Homo-oligomer: A and B are copies of this chain.
Amino acid sequence: MENKEARCRASIGVFDSGVGGLTVAREIMRNLPGEHIVYFGDTARVPYGSKSKDTIVRYARQIIHFLQTQDVKAIVIACNTASALALDTVEKELDIPIIGVIRPGARVAVSATKNRRIGVIGTESTINSHMYQKLICEADPSVTVYEKACPLFCPLVEEGWLKDPVTKEVARRYLAELLDKDIDSLILGCTHYPLLRSLIRELVGDQITLVNPAYETARELGELLERESLSNPDEPPTPPTAEPYRFYVSDMAEKFGHFANSILPYDIETIQKINIEEY
C-alpha cells in the first residue's frame, strides 16, 4: 500500500524538442496543480520537425530512458512531431502510461467542427506523417482534413517575431490554401504555434475555431491518472510555487530558462544540462 502511495507521489515526465512543450507543461500545472513534473527539452537536437521517424524514435527512447531514471509515473510527449512519429512505437515498449498531444488535439477538433472540414498546421514531419488526419478520420470518417506544413513558424517564434509583419506575411501564405477550403476549425499542430495565436486569429477571422491540443492533453492526462489510480493525493502548495517542477535540457540551459520564464507562471530557478546521448 505504501508503494502504491509513493507511486502516486511520483512525477509526470514531460518532454519536447525544446521550449515548445512548456505550453503543454503550463496546462498541466494549471489543471493538475497537485502533480509534480520533470520536464526535458532536447535543446541540443532541436528542431525535430524536419527529422525522420527512425531518428525521432531513437531520440524518444533515449529521453524516456532518462525520465525513467527520474522515476516518473507517467509520460507526456509534449511535442507534435514526436507524438506523430514515435508514440506508436514507444508505447509498446513501456510499462507506464504515455500519451501524446495528437489524439487529444484530434478529438477536440472533431467535437468543434460543424461543417466537418478541419485544417491542420504543423512541422514538415508531423504533416508528412498524416497522423492528425488518421486519428480524426478514425474518430469521424465523415470529416475532411486539410494539412499544411509551416516550416518557418518555429524559427520565427524562436526569433521572437510573434507579431511581426514578416511573420504575418509568412502566415498569410501558409494559411491561404487552408482558408480556400472553407475549414471551420484549425489545429495548431506544433507546440510553438499557440505563441502565434493572436496573429493567426487576425488572419483567419472569428469564424474559425483555433484548437490548441495542450488544453485537451492536460485534461486527458488527468483522466488517465484517475483511471489508473495514479493521481497525487497531496494538497498542492499554497501559494503555488515552482518547487514541484524540475527542468532538464540537453544544451543551452540559460537560453531555455529565459524563454521558459516568459511562458510559465513561475520563474524557474535551476535547469540542469545532461548529455542525452548517454541514455
Contacts and interface: CB of A to CB of B under 8 A. Distances in A.
A180 interface: no
A270 B55 CA distance: 20
A51 B252 contact: yes
A156 B166 contact: no
Contacts of A250: 55
B44 A51 contact: yes
A87 B50 CA distance: 27
A237 to B, nearest CB: 33
A275 B61 CA distance: 15
Interface in A36-66: 44-46, 50-52, 54-55, 58
Which size bracket describes the interface of A in this complex?
20 to 34
A45 B54 CA distance: 13
A155 interface: yes
A6 interface: no
A182 interface: no
A269 interface: no
B155 A166 contact: no
A187 to B, nearest CB: 22
25 contacts: A44-B51, A44-B55, A45-B45, A46-B50, A50-B252, A50-B255, A51-B251, A52-B251, A52-B252, A54-B251, A55-B250, A55-B251, A151-B155, A151-B158, A151-B159, A152-B155, A152-B156, A152-B159, A155-B155, A165-B169, A166-B166, A166-B169, A166-B170, A169-B169, A277-B277
A242 B252 CA distance: 39
